[in-house]
Chains A and B, each alone.
Chain A
Amino acid sequence: MIMDKELLLYRYFSNQLTEAERQLFDALLEKDADFKAQFSFESNLKRVIKDDRNVELKVKLAEFEKDVDSKIAIEKPKTKFRQWSVAASIVLLFGLGLIGYNSFFRTDYYDLFDENFDQYPNTVYTITRGDTSESLERDAFAAYESGNFQKALDNFEKIPEADQKIYFDFYRAQAYLNLGDTGQAAELFKTVASSGGEFEAEAQWYLALSYLRAKDAENTRDALQKLTLKYSYNKEKALELLKELN
């Protein structure tokens, strides 16, 4: 019997209790004082070890944060260098009698887009383990998370009108943008950006990126300016991008 109790505790702490064992475990906890004392000792030990590990982890994360800071510090002078190099190339170009002016100054939209685009993560629908509800929303977000954007779109479209939520448009637009359909993406982002609800600022940013991807400099600038005036979301990035486009 002693072995059984030990085994039960072992299986509890290694997450292996079966349903029947769980019942036995609960019963023992109720009526066996020694078992309860041992369980509470081990639980406390687990908590204490976790506490120690979390302190260590916090130190590590602080180190990572320092690295991020120094990376930003390194990147900033690079931008300065870039400005200088642009200035230098202007001088050089005039010196060369403007030979190749167009090819030097053509904005590389794809590069700019790639530098700035990050697929927005699913932050609205939790796909939990063992979630068996086969809702269309779940399927749509599961497809979105796995990068299957066409399937995500198909599933979003299938959701009945009555069940449509405001944030669907934001994620549908994301899917279109990922598929390269900037027209559809821009239309939807515009709707979300003017909806006055969740993702308003984010949609404004991605609207700018949709235009950028479509090489539409004028609308990109407009959208970015609106973003910097109205929101703090990605403001620095937007200002940086505006500089590149001007």
Chain B
Amino acid sequence: MLTLFIPIHKVKEAKTEITLDDLRKGSDKALKQVYEENRDKFLNFARRYQLSDEENIDVYQDAYIIFYDNVMSGKVESFSSSIATYLFGIGKYLIFDRMRKNKKTVGSNFNLDLVKDDEEIVDGLEMEQPGLTTEQELLKRYFATLGKQCQELLTLFYYRGFTIEEIMEHENYNSENVVKAAKSRCMKTLKERIQANTN
């Protein structure tokens, strides 16, 4: 019997390729697609460790947030590795961290050598999420009192890593100087509010 072989990856329906730019621009559609595309693979992979399904979903979401934060802060600049590789690398790190905290031992069937490879990916990224310091809590409280425009501008700059020029284009400011002046004003207001309430 003649069997026709067609490479499988060509048969499968082509999905829209998500680029780093889609994510960085804050597209919710991209965010959701990437979440769904990697979820089952991740959970299947995580099942070999001793955490519950609920914990694994939690780990997946934490890994996803860390990955996203690092895309935003420019630590992940290009997908030289696939998104899945990043998520699995971060996820594995988080799982081992949790298992350590749960005082669960790592069974003999886990090859810890593989973790070494993951260290490479984790090394370049910001992983630590310690709680906020008193100073930061205060800052958080007063940041929330700023006008929407200030919050947006500062978020674009400090979280999304936009340059002044990019902010100008994104928010329809007239010139870079207007953006700079607005940013200075927002920072000044924030500092003044904190000072007025701590003195």
Contacts and interface: CB of A to CB of B under 8 A. Distances in A.
A122 B44 CA distance: 14
B134 to A, nearest CB: 11
Interface string B1-41: 00001111101100000000000000010011001101111
A123 B84 contact: yes
A234 B82 CA distance: 23
A47 B133 CA distance: 10
A161 interface: no
B77 to A, nearest CB: 6
Contacts of B78: 129
A158 interface: no
Interface stretch (A25-33, A58-66, A80-88, A92-100): A58-66
B35 A64 contact: yes
Q: What is the interface residue range for chain A against chain B?
A: 35 or more
A14 interface: yes
A34 to B, nearest CB: 13
B80 A232 contact: no
A207 to B, nearest CB: 16
A125 B65 CA distance: 22
Contact of A41 (B9, B133, B191): B191
Contacts of A47: 132, 136
Contacts of A62: 61
Interface size classification for chain B: 35 or more
B107 interface: no
A122 B157 contact: no
Nearest to A53: B159
B85 interface: yes
A125 B117 contact: yes
Contact of A126 (B81, B136, B143): B81
B9 A49 contact: no
B185 to A, nearest CB: 14
A64 B72 CA distance: 20
B99 interface: no
Contacts of B136: 44, 47-48, 51
A189 to B, nearest CB: 15
B159 A124 contact: no
Contacts of A114: 8, 11-12
Interface string A140-162: 00000101010000000000000
Instruction: Name, among B11, B45, B92, B159, the residue most crowded by chain A CB atoms within 10 Å (CB to CB).
Output: B159
Given A41-B191, A121-B84, A233-B48, A61 B8 contact: no
Contact of B61 (A13, A14, A58, A131): A58
Contacts of B164: 10, 14
Interface string B42-79: 00110110000000010001001100110011101110
A137 B62 CA distance: 29
Interface string B118-144: 101100100000001101100110011
A121 B88 contact: yes
A61 B65 contact: yes
Contacts of A58: 61, 65
Contacts of A4: none
17 contacts: A14-B162, A49-B143, A54-B65, A54-B69, A58-B61, A65-B61, A117-B8, A118-B41, A121-B82, A123-B84, A126-B120, A128-B120, A129-B76, A145-B81, A196-B109, A197-B109, A202-B44
Interface of A: 10, 13-16, 41-42, 44-54, 57-58, 60-62, 64-65, 67-68, 114, 117-129, 131, 145, 147, 149, 167, 177-181, 196-198, 201-202, 232-234
Given A45-B143, A61-B35, 6 more contacts: A14-B161, A45-B190, A49-B155, A123-B92, A128-B124, A179-B5
